[in-house]
Amino acid sequence: MNSVNSIALSGMNAATLHLGSAAHNIANEQTPGFRRQLVTQQAQAEGGVSATVTQADAVGVNLAEDIVQQRVASYSFKASLQLIQTEHQMLGSLLDLKA
């Protein structure tokens, strides 16, 4: 997974997972006995990241952390998308030079 597109796509997938998990936690904060979802993200040796969802060990909510996580996930997604768009523009410019 060493292409820029693949690396950026893995970042977008991880950001989407973070966003969904935070939304799930916020939506269920009033549920008795609710245990939050946690997303663990790990860098891959060949580039990019992998992300997995787990459940918190203890019952409880952390609304502030979930709101911040939504913001961070949104910015991360946008940054990865910008990377894909920039690569696309650069490749277009290179093709124009070769033509």
In a domain, 55, yes or no: yes
In a domain, 30, yes or no: yes
If one counts the domains in the chain, the total is 1
The pTM of the full predicted model, rounded to 2 decimals, is: 0.83
In a domain, 53, yes or no: yes
In a domain, 86, yes or no: yes
In a domain, 45, yes or no: yes
Domain residue limits at 32: 4-94
In a domain, 76, yes or no: yes
Q: Quick one: pLDDT at residue 1?
A: 44
In a domain, 99, yes or no: no
Residue 85 neighbours by CB distance under 10 Å? 11
The identity of residue 21, as a single letter, is S
In a domain, 57, yes or no: yes
Question: Helix %, strand %, coil % for the chain, to 5?
Answer: 60, 15, 25
List the chain pLDDT tens, one digit each, 99 residues. 468 889 999 999 999 999 999 999 999 999 999 999 999 999 999 899 999 999 999 998 899 999 999 999 999 999 999 999 998 888 877 777 776
Sign of CA dihedral 86, 68, 31, 27: negative
